Chains A and B, each alone.
Chain A
Amino acid sequence: MTRNPQAGPGAGLVIPRRTLLKGAAALGLSSAFGAPFINRLKAAEAHPLAGKKIEMNVLGIAGWLPSSLGVKMSPLFADYVKERYGYDVSFGFAEAPFADLFQKAATSLATKSQEYNIIISDSQWLGALAKAGWILKLNDAIAANKNLQLDWYSQTVIDTYMVYPDGSKDIYGLPQEGDTIALYIRKDMLHDPAEQQAFAAKYNAKLPQTFEDFDALTMDEFEKVAEFFTRPDKQVWGTAMQNSRVYDFATCFYYPFLWSQGGDIWDAKTGQVEGILNTDANAKALEQMKSWLKYQPPGATNFGIAEEIDVFQQGKVFSCFQWAAVGLAMINDANRDKVMVVPPPKHGKGADAKRIYTMGGQPWVINAFNDEAKMRVAIDFMNWWYLPETTLEYAKRGGNPCDKATLSKPEFDTINPWNRAYKFMLEPGRSRDFWHDPKYSEMLAVQQEGFTSYLTGQTASAKQALDYVACQQQQILYDSGTAKTEPTGVCGSISL
């Protein structure tokens, strides 16, 4: 933990009597309201901030329910520290949409500003934030706080949300929201006997019905289902994915095609992209992704997270490949009984079929420029966030925790309709994250252009789009010193 050695006055351990009284009063108050998960026995123990009033600012993702959950639960934290440590904390919030949040965070952090004390970062930003020295390295804090030494559900959690550089032991983030891609299905359509008969008659196969059926399902088989439910005349389409140019939308939904069939996006050790991303197999994967457009609504090339929610809520699609994190928005009062959430299908055929989907989700990161008091509150906040009670409460409100203890509880699976699918996809090897390199934003912009250029038919061949992306990314990484080799000579002549 970076502690300012010249601590300000009042950093001592002496608690004024008034504070104790105030703390006691708060204790009485909160127990009267029966705040359920506060450890009352340990109330008002010695704390350097006791008696102070701290204002914290959290920067979160606009329109992202798990982010706002973290925000909405913060009064519980205020109660908790008031009672336990005797200080007052209030929270201010700022938010920006996914596509602009990094911009917001970085423009502020670059000024060494304390504007945002705690930030909900997207996983791929870890590198850019850490390398610039803007966020706190958490190893010491974790070593000093038993509560933060958690057993995570899988290595994927650590790789995605915590560690930078990849494969190292340096920890910069702690999981806020775990997230994987799930398949949201209209089970009322699926379970309709008339549909089942019609499907059986048309394809000589059974409509998958249960979670287990979908566990075993391959994309080839699911394609029939999607085709079957695509009925443009009735304003219903078989499925929806994210194909939009905005942020990482198309990327996150192309990678499952690529990874599941054995492809890769780069060599993390050497920074080599060319020759790894632009293979024929990966080009074929991109072609497959495009071929799915015919089962999606006509606006699908513009679909991002929000557009998918709109079409699903309005009953325009039978199914949606969508983040588990937006379950609360996908499933509302109107369609609650009609929806089930299952694992997305495997790619490939027979025994070789595999599923490796993209990780979503966000870690908490802590502003490295926080003064001592705010740093202390931030660490207290993390300690509180990972209390089993808090974690469970978070899950109950619709969030997706990542620790093994909570996820292994038998009741976890039924807390929310998507929990089982989420947990399933979080198992080792089923999901992975892409680069955390500081140059991520540039690389992402290039490939979003490349992928959507092919998906919308501007670039004739998938291979050409991938060649373009690989060349550009190789150059970006070579310039930043991450990649050892320059782009090859062919690159000069490749454009979208």
Chain B
Amino acid sequence: MSRLRDTVYYGLLWLVSLFFAAPIGWIVLSSFKTRDDILAVPPKLVFVPTLQNYVDLFGRQSLLLQMANSVFLSLAAVVLAVVVSFLAAFCFSRFKPRGTDFLMFLLLSIRMLPGPAVILPVYLMYAGFGWKDNHLWLALFYAMFSIPFSVWILKGFLDGVSIRFDETGIVNGGSWFHVIFKVVLPQVKPGLIAAFIFNLIFVWNEFLFNFIIGGVSTQNIPYALAVGTYSDGGLNWTFISALTTIYVIPPILFIYVFQKYLLVGMTFGTVRGEV
């Protein structure tokens, strides 16, 4: 292939990537503008950058709590979900208990319902038992929501891990505990990471459930964004852009660092190596 062709080809792909990133770039750019610059007509590309929006942002009392909530809820829910899913997926993959297909089918149906349908009975239940506005119960619910997809991904990977590993482990005198966590678990690392990231992104950005079954003490950042949109009269563009910019950094870093696993993960175990 000629160099020129390559250059054009790669240039084109870069343009596509930049096109998709452009709206986010515009948000990031806006976060360094004053309100008047954001609302300038025609829109300004060249302006005097200001850090005032970030100063204002961190001057908000509630922000740290909301940030901490976002981190806690995402991590707690997803770690729990991945562990639980891994055990279940191992069971489904190795022992194929009766009703495996049906159970996996049922699990997935939760994911298929629109949010308000899922949350309606859960809300009534939480209201009835006094579980609303509680970190633990909210995290557990998020975990439930993350389980189905994780089970599906992990089962795919586990199906691909030869059963000989288990047998060797058991024959050599290892307990099932040893086999599951020391022998099999490392083999499905890409699947674990993929399940982790996909669900993390979901919980990280989740708004509705937090709004309905959360409360004062469990608000996360999407909640803060939805609520802060209208602060101080008018649409608070400086706040939205600054907070969005900060908030999108962790997931973008994640997909940069774990890109390989993300791609391998989505092959549902049919590939182990580079994609």
Are A and B in direct contact (Cβ within 8 Å)?
yes
Q: How distant is the Cα of A110 from the Cα of B136 in the complex, in angstroms?
A: 21
Whether B233 and A63, one on each chain, are in contact in the complex, defined by CB atoms closer than 8 angstroms, is yes
Which residue of chain A is the closest to B215 with respect to CB atoms? Answer: A115
Q: How distant is the Cα of A98 from the Cα of B235 in the complex, in angstroms?
A: 13
Whether A111 and B130, one on each chain, are in contact in the complex, defined by CB atoms closer than 8 angstroms, is yes
The proximity string for A residues 217-248 relative to B, scoring 1 for CB distances below 8 Å and 0 otherwise, is: 00000000000000000010000000000000
Whether A63 and B216, one on each chain, are in contact in the complex, defined by CB atoms closer than 8 angstroms, is no
Report the count of interface residues on B (CB-CB < 8 A): 26
A306 at the interface (CB under 8 A from B): yes
A262 at the interface (CB under 8 A from B): no
Q: How distant is the Cα of A329 from the Cα of B215 in the complex, in angstroms?
A: 29
Which residue of chain A is the closest to B236 with respect to CB atoms? Answer: A63
Whether B230 and A306, one on each chain, are in contact in the complex, defined by CB atoms closer than 8 angstroms, is yes
Whether B123 and A107, one on each chain, are in contact in the complex, defined by CB atoms closer than 8 angstroms, is yes
The proximity string for B residues 103-132 relative to A, scoring 1 for CB distances below 8 Å and 0 otherwise, is: 000000000000000000001001110101
Which residue of chain A is the closest to B35 with respect to CB atoms? Answer: A313
The proximity string for A residues 282-312 relative to B, scoring 1 for CB distances below 8 Å and 0 otherwise, is: 0000000000000000000000011101100
Whether A309 and B233, one on each chain, are in contact in the complex, defined by CB atoms closer than 8 angstroms, is yes
B174 at the interface (CB under 8 A from A): no
Q: How distant is the Cα of A167 from the Cα of B56 in the complex, in angstroms?
A: 46
Whether A65 and B233, one on each chain, are in contact in the complex, defined by CB atoms closer than 8 angstroms, is yes
Which residue of chain B is the closest to A314 with respect to CB atoms? Answer: B39
Q: How distant is the Cα of A62 from the Cα of B229 in the complex, in angstroms?
A: 8
Most chain B beta-carbon contacts within 10 A, residue among A63, A64, A235: A63
A104-B211 contact, Cβ under 8 Å, with A309-B234, A326-B233: yes
Which residue of chain A is the closest to B231 with respect to CB atoms? Answer: A63
B226 at the interface (CB under 8 A from A): yes
A96 at the interface (CB under 8 A from B): yes
Whether B234 and A313, one on each chain, are in contact in the complex, defined by CB atoms closer than 8 angstroms, is yes
Whether A63 and B132, one on each chain, are in contact in the complex, defined by CB atoms closer than 8 angstroms, is no
Interface residues on A, range: 35 or more
A95 at the interface (CB under 8 A from B): yes
A115-B216 contact, Cβ under 8 Å, with A104-B211, A235-B41: yes
The proximity string for B residues 123-166 relative to A, scoring 1 for CB distances below 8 Å and 0 otherwise, is: 10011101011000000000000000000000000000000000
Question: Which A residues touch B236, using CB under 8 A?
Answer: 63
Q: How distant is the Cα of A94 from the Cα of B219 in the complex, in angstroms?
A: 10
A97-B216 contact, Cβ under 8 Å, with A111-B132, A113-B132, A306-B235: no
Give which listed residue, A97, A104, A310, contacts B229 with CB less than 8 A. Answer: A97
| CB-contacts of B199-222 with A (<8 A) | 211-212, 215-216, 219
The proximity string for A residues 82-117 relative to B, scoring 1 for CB distances below 8 Å and 0 otherwise, is: 000000000010111110100110011011010110
Whether B216 and A329, one on each chain, are in contact in the complex, defined by CB atoms closer than 8 angstroms, is no
Whether B216 and A310, one on each chain, are in contact in the complex, defined by CB atoms closer than 8 angstroms, is no
Whether A329 and B234, one on each chain, are in contact in the complex, defined by CB atoms closer than 8 angstroms, is yes
Whether B216 and A94, one on each chain, are in contact in the complex, defined by CB atoms closer than 8 angstroms, is yes
Whether A306 and B226, one on each chain, are in contact in the complex, defined by CB atoms closer than 8 angstroms, is no
Whether A57 and B216, one on each chain, are in contact in the complex, defined by CB atoms closer than 8 angstroms, is yes
| CB-contacts of A317-349 with B (<8 A) | 326, 328-330
Q: How distant is the Cα of A94 from the Cα of B65 in the complex, in angstroms?
A: 13
| CB-contacts of A227-280 with B (<8 A) | 235
Which residue of chain A is the closest to B212 with respect to CB atoms? Answer: A107
Question: Which B residues touch A103, using CB under 8 A?
Answer: 211-212
Q: How distant is the Cα of A455 from the Cα of B72 in the complex, in angstroms?
A: 45
> Distance (Å) between the CB of B129 and the closest chain A CB?
9
Give which listed residue, A57, A62, A94, A313, contacts B230 with CB less than 8 A. Answer: A62
| CB-contacts of B222-275 with A (<8 A) | 226-236
Whether A310 and B227, one on each chain, are in contact in the complex, defined by CB atoms closer than 8 angstroms, is no
Whether A63 and B232, one on each chain, are in contact in the complex, defined by CB atoms closer than 8 angstroms, is yes
Whether A108 and B231, one on each chain, are in contact in the complex, defined by CB atoms closer than 8 angstroms, is no
Most chain A beta-carbon contacts within 10 A, residue among B123, B132, B227, B228: B227
Whether B39 and A310, one on each chain, are in contact in the complex, defined by CB atoms closer than 8 angstroms, is yes
Whether A310 and B133, one on each chain, are in contact in the complex, defined by CB atoms closer than 8 angstroms, is no
Question: Which A residues touch B128, using CB under 8 A?
Answer: 111
Question: Which A residues touch B227, using CB under 8 A?
Answer: 62, 95-97, 100
> Distance (Å) between the CB of A113 and the closest chain B CB?
7
Question: Which B residues touch A96, using CB under 8 A?
Answer: 226-227
Q: How distant is the Cα of A98 from the Cα of B233 in the complex, in angstroms?
A: 12
Give which listed residue, B127, B211, B226, contacts A110 with CB less than 8 A. Answer: B127
Question: Which B residues touch A63, using CB under 8 A?
Answer: 229-234, 236
Q: How distant is the Cα of A460 from the Cα of B41 in the complex, in angstroms?
A: 34
Whether B226 and A100, one on each chain, are in contact in the complex, defined by CB atoms closer than 8 angstroms, is yes
Question: Which B residues touch A313, using CB under 8 A?
Answer: 39, 234
Which residue of chain B is the closest to A98 with respect to CB atoms? Answer: B230
Which residue of chain B is the closest to A101 with respect to CB atoms? Answer: B227
Question: Which B residues touch A307, using CB under 8 A?
Answer: 235
Q: How distant is the Cα of A108 from the Cα of B219 in the complex, in angstroms?
A: 14
Q: How distant is the Cα of A89 from the Cα of B90 in the complex, in angstroms?
A: 54
| CB-contacts of A357-384 with B (<8 A) | none
Question: Which B residues touch A98, using CB under 8 A?
Answer: 230
Q: How distant is the Cα of A55 from the Cα of B112 in the complex, in angstroms?
A: 41
Whether A115 and B233, one on each chain, are in contact in the complex, defined by CB atoms closer than 8 angstroms, is no
> Distance (Å) between the CB of B32 and the closest chain A CB?
19
Question: Which A residues touch B230, using CB under 8 A?
Answer: 62-64, 97-98, 305-306
Q: How distant is the Cα of A65 from the Cα of B234 in the complex, in angstroms?
A: 10
Q: How distant is the Cα of A94 from the Cα of B236 in the complex, in angstroms?
A: 17
The proximity string for A residues 32-72 relative to B, scoring 1 for CB distances below 8 Å and 0 otherwise, is: 00000000000000000000000001000011110010000
Q: How distant is the Cα of A363 from the Cα of B256 in the complex, in angstroms?
A: 50
Give which listed residue, A111, A328, A329, A330, contacts B127 with CB less than 8 A. Answer: A111
A92-B216 contact, Cβ under 8 Å, with A97-B226, A104-B211: yes
Question: Which B residues touch A316, using CB under 8 A?
Answer: 41
Q: How distant is the Cα of A107 from the Cα of B219 in the complex, in angstroms?
A: 15
Question: Which B residues touch A309, using CB under 8 A?
Answer: 233-234
Whether B211 and A329, one on each chain, are in contact in the complex, defined by CB atoms closer than 8 angstroms, is no
Residue numbers of B with Cβ under 8 A of A are: 36, 39, 41, 123, 126-128, 130, 132-133, 211-212, 215-216, 219, 226-236
Q: Given contact pairs A63-B236, A95-B227, enumerate 4 new A-B contacts (beta carbons under 8 Å).
A: A62-B231, A111-B130, A113-B215, A316-B41
10 nearest A-B residue pairs (beta carbon): A329-B233, A63-B230, A309-B234, A111-B127, A306-B235, A62-B227, A97-B230, A63-B231, A94-B216, A306-B234
Q: Could you pull out 15 A-B pairs where Cβ atoms are within 8 angstroms?
A: A62-B228, A62-B229, A63-B236, A94-B219, A95-B227, A103-B212, A107-B127, A108-B133, A115-B132, A115-B216, A310-B39, A310-B235, A313-B39, A313-B234, A314-B41
Residue numbers of A with Cβ under 8 A of B are: 57, 62-65, 68, 92, 94-98, 100, 103-104, 107-108, 110-111, 113, 115-116, 235, 305-307, 309-310, 313-314, 316, 326, 328-330
